[in-house]
Chain A
Amino acid sequence: MTAKSNRSLWPDIEPLLSQVAKPSRYIDHEFNRVVKENAKYHAVFVYPDSYEIGQSNQAVALLYEIVNQIEDVAAERAYLPWLDMAELMRDRQIPLFSLETMSPLADFDLIGITISHEMAATNIIEVIDLAGLPHRSADRDSSHPLLIAGGPVCFNPEPFAPFFDMFVIGEAEDLIGELIELHRNMNNADRTELLEAMAAIDGVYVPAHQTQATVNRRVFMGFSSTLPSTCLVPYNEVAHDRLTIEVLRGCTRGCRFCQAGMTYRPVRERSADAIVQATTSGIAATGFDEVSLTSLSTTDHSRIESILRRLNDRYRNTGVSISIPSQRLDAFGVEMAYLVAGERKTGLTFAPEAGSQRLRDVINKNVTEQHLFGAIEAAYKAGWRRSKLYFMIGLPTETDEDVLAIADLANRAYALAKDCVPDKQRSQVRMSLSVAVFVPKPATPFQWSGQLPLAEVKRRIELLRQAGMAKGIDLSWHDPEVSQIEAALSRAGREAADLIEAAWREGAVFASWSECFDYQQWQRAAATTELDLAQLSERSYPHDQALPWQHIQSGVSVEFLLKEWQKAELGLTTADCSFDQCLNCGVCAGDVRIETEGSRHE
């Protein structure tokens, strides 16, 4: 293990602060941050993006809290400095530092990096490089910290495999303690021996360890019985500047494109009492004036109505507001949003995802036009004047009719919204349409399917643009080139590591920020590495071919995914097992089972 020197870089960093934007990103000292003096083991959790994005990430917050509870172990945080700061740091040879003790990252025993999406790929290299570490695991030795990755992207770790010593597959809450304990116990072991021992931990994938046949996803079954963490209180206006309480984990609605829906199973709810208690203590500890009840499908919580009513009573006339990130697409979802909206009816978000019923059946969205219209009617009658609808373009089996059906559905929803408001307010009715490009993800029923060619995606977006949408509808779409890179990296094998590193060398950092994304950097990187972005993103895998992520068991069986793919082709839907009966997806066994507080209702 490394010996952390307690060398604070603050004297080097402070003189730079007058030259950079938002210096509060670099000063630490937020309420509720933890500084442990005299710890014997030091971990730092990194979110490879700006402070504003990273500070809002729940995984880092969770690990920070859990690890700081371990005796003699200290956890700190680090984020990627913005471009201006990184340039100054390189100029002055200041390495990437943690916030709490302002220590160089290379001084830690363990560096944990959360990878939430593929577009963070080059930021990972930037983190490793700014930390002054060799980029590849093979070039590091026991004088370097252990570098581990976690997060949704690890369901296909291969494009990132050479950069990390190991990956945590699935939920890390109780795994992280086991990993740290082993590392401490094997203090003097050589690296190969250590990594070999690490590979024996359930849920840990060590790319260098050749004999590891399959790695199972870890599921944290203590979720329902533990309280959510208390968050830090940033100064800077971060992406989610509020208290977040994770009310439930998992969603089994079964959308076939959705990786989170497959990889966070089974559904586990925290009790209404626990949620109310955590909100009360969280607001008191943070001083936030808003709490967001987060999850993949908050309005599916079996006690959601009672939770919202209790929180409403508790916070009436206190200036503290309650929010839910999005709602299920029906009148009940709107009713729940209405419960907490008060006077602030800023906008509601719905995700029909596809324009035609045929395609919604293909993706197993399990909502009909009637559900959407019911929600729109309820929302606009209740006083909302704005809503946002999410759609996807390029889904498997999509035709031009399906694309045009998006415009048609939106036009009818908009007309209905107008009908639902008093004459004088009709001009205020707004609807925005956000169109994402389908990116096939590992561990989903669509994992075998390729993405449409770039030119075809662009043609379909143009088709939608020209489809004649009502004036009050604003259409926006994701950059197809960004989506192509995302698709290329999401299902690639280890060869994509070279592409990532080459793109970083071309200057690609903060690639998920539209102002920083430069497609040409990726094209040049592809040329250097003799890889083809189109081929990587568009390739379909035959069902009998081994996939690059075959050794990562997400919990849902390949048989189930394949069956879902076949049903998709036939336009057949699958029910939600948290409302209905078990469909044998393969997740539940032994202790792993659905945990809901009451029964769920359609």
Chain B
Amino acid sequence: MSEQFRLRIVYAKQDRLRWLSHLEVMRAMERLVRRSGLPYVVTQGFNRHMRFAIGPALPVGTAGLNELFDVWLTQYVAPSDAQTALSQAADDIIAIRKVQYVNPDAKGLQATHTINRYLLLVDSAVGALELQSAMDAVIATGHLELPHKKSTRSFDLSQTVAESPVVLPTVDADGYLLVSCAIVSSDTGSLRPEQLLACALDEGSRIVSVTRTALESPDTV
């Protein structure tokens, strides 16, 4: 097999695009690569397709500021040129934040990038301190039982929560509280930050939006 170059693209799924499903994002990114004219690798075999891999899924409605996908190229293209080509193809609709080459033999994004950092906007009926202690109390219980389909799913918070939720000292322009946290994803079903937070919210409060701000590998944290 001739040499292949694995290009990692950091992009944003935000604004209206947060309403896309994971499958829709995947298709859009593949089409973006074809539109960019980058020399992508086509797999051999029965169903030939672009050699492409996308990072961990985001639910419909959740934005992502630094989402990732990898595409394998047949030729080296300078990262700045690749970024220009992708940005032009993205029509100002998708922001291409960064483009870099990674080791072609590295493990897949879903296996390596398991730390998900989130920022949530909360329209809170209580003040920041009260919300913080409610969240701390949830974390202190050590585990969470959440309804899942017809049964429940249990999460060990010491394993699942990489960084406990923290109410940030600033509020956003609309006066909503900002809460950050980091969750470890797993291939058997990940905890959603809004599920964690919902356990600490009282009835008069609601989560306005959820944004994944970064995807990180535990090795680099």
Report whether B31 and A29 are in contact in the complex, using a CB–CB cutoff of 8 Å: no
Q: Which of A17, A18, A236, A286 contacts B31 (CB 8 A)?
A: A286
Q: Mark B31-45, 1 if CB is under 8 A from A, else 0.
A: 111110100001100
Check A283 for interface membership: any CB of B closer than 8 A.
Answer: yes
Query: Could you say which of B34, B42, B61 contacts A287, with CB atoms under 8 Å apart?
Result: B34
Flag if B34 contacts A283 (CB, 8 Å). Answer: yes
B16 at the interface (CB under 8 A from A): yes
Residues of A within 8 A of B24 (CB): 24, 235-237
Q: Contacts A289-B49, A319-B50, A343-B47: A235 and B27 contacting too (C-beta < 8 A)?
A: yes
The yes or no answer to B21 lying at the interface (CB within 8 A) is yes
Q: How far is the CA of A236 from the CA of B26 in the complex (A)?
A: 11
**Does A287 contact B48, Cβ atoms closer than 8 Å?**
no
Residues of B within 8 A of A482 (CB): none
Residues of B within 8 Å of A31, CB to CB, are 31-32, 35, 89, 91, 93
Query: What CA separation (Å) do A317 and B30 show in the bound complex?
Result: 16
For residue A23, which residues in chain B have a CB less than 8 angstroms away from its CB?
Answer: 19, 60-61
| Bound: A233/B30 CA distance, A | 12
Contact between A287 and B19 (Cβ–Cβ < 8 Å)? no
Q: Is B17 an interface residue (CB 8 A)?
A: yes
Residues in A with CB closer than 8 Å to B47 are: 343-344
A82 interface residue per 8 A CB criterion: no
Contacts of B49 in A (CB 8 A): 289, 319
A318 located at the interface, meaning its Cβ lies under 8 Å from any Cβ of chain B in the complex = yes
Residue of B with least CB distance to A288:
B31
A233 vs B23: C-alpha distance when bound (angstroms): 15
Known: A235-B28, A319-B48. A287 touches B20 (CB 8 A): no
* Least distance between B61 CB and chain A CB atoms (Å): 5
B60 and A284 form a contact (CB under 8 A): no
Query: Are B42 and A319 in contact (CB-based, < 8 A)?
Result: yes
Q: A318 contacts which chain B residues (CB < 8 A)? A: 42
Residues of A within 8 A of B27 (CB): 235, 237
Give the chain B neighbours of A289 by CB distance below 8 A: 30, 34, 49-50
Q: How far is the CA of A318 from the CA of B37 in the complex (A)?
A: 12
Please state if A287 and B21 are interface contacts (CB–CB under 8 Å).
no
Count of B interface residues, CB-CB < 8 Å: 28
Given A24-B21, A319-B48, A319-B49, A233 and B16 touching (CB < 8 A)? no
- How many residues belonging to A are interface residues under a CB distance threshold of 8 Å? 27
Given that A319-B42, A343-B46 are contacting pairs, would A17 and B34 also be in contact in the complex, using a CB cutoff of 8 Å? no
> Across the two chains, which residue of chain B brings its CB closest to A318?
B42
| B35-A286 in contact (CB<8A) | yes
CA distance in complex: A287, B35 (Å): 5
Chain B positions 40-70 with a Cβ under 8 Å from a chain A Cβ: 42-43, 46-50, 60-61
Quick one: which of A401-445 are within 8 Å of B by CB? Answer: none
Which chain B residues lie closer than 8 Å to A319 at the CB level? Answer: 42-43, 48-50
Interface string of A462-476 (1 = CB under 8 A from B): 000000000000000
Q: Give the docked Cα–Cα distance between A363 and B27 (Å).
A: 43
Residue-wise, chain A 506-525 has the 8 Å CB interface mask toward B (1 for contact) of 00000000000000000000
In the assembled complex, the CB of A206 is this many whole angstroms from the nearest CB of chain B, namely 39
Among A29, A284, A318, chain B packs the most CB atoms within 10 A around the CB of A29
Interface residues of A in 259-299 (CB under 8 A from B): 283-289
CA distance A17 to B20 in the complex (A): 11
Q: Which residue of A lies closest to B60 (CB)?
A: A23
- With A24-B24, A27-B17, A287-B89 as contacts: A17 and B46 at CB distance below 8 Å: no
- Give CA–CA (A24, B27) in the complex, Å: 13
* Residue in A closest to B29 when the chains form the complex, CB atoms: A287
Residue in A18, A236, A284, A344 whose beta carbon sits within 8 Å of that of B61 in the complex: A18
With CB as the reference atom, state the residue of chain A lying closest to B21.
A24
In the complex, A32 Cα to B32 Cα: how many Å?
12
Residues of B within 8 Å of A30, CB to CB, are: 93
Q: Enumerate 25 A-B pairs (CB-CB under 8 Å) in ascending A order.
A: A18-B60, A23-B19, A24-B20, A27-B16, A27-B19, A31-B31, A31-B32, A31-B35, A233-B28, A235-B24, A237-B24, A283-B34, A284-B34, A286-B34, A287-B31, A287-B32, A288-B34, A289-B30, A317-B42, A317-B48, A319-B42, A319-B43, A319-B49, A319-B50, A343-B46
Which residues does B use to contact A, with CB under 8 Å? 16-17, 19-21, 23-24, 27-28, 30-35, 37, 42-43, 46-50, 60-61, 89, 91, 93
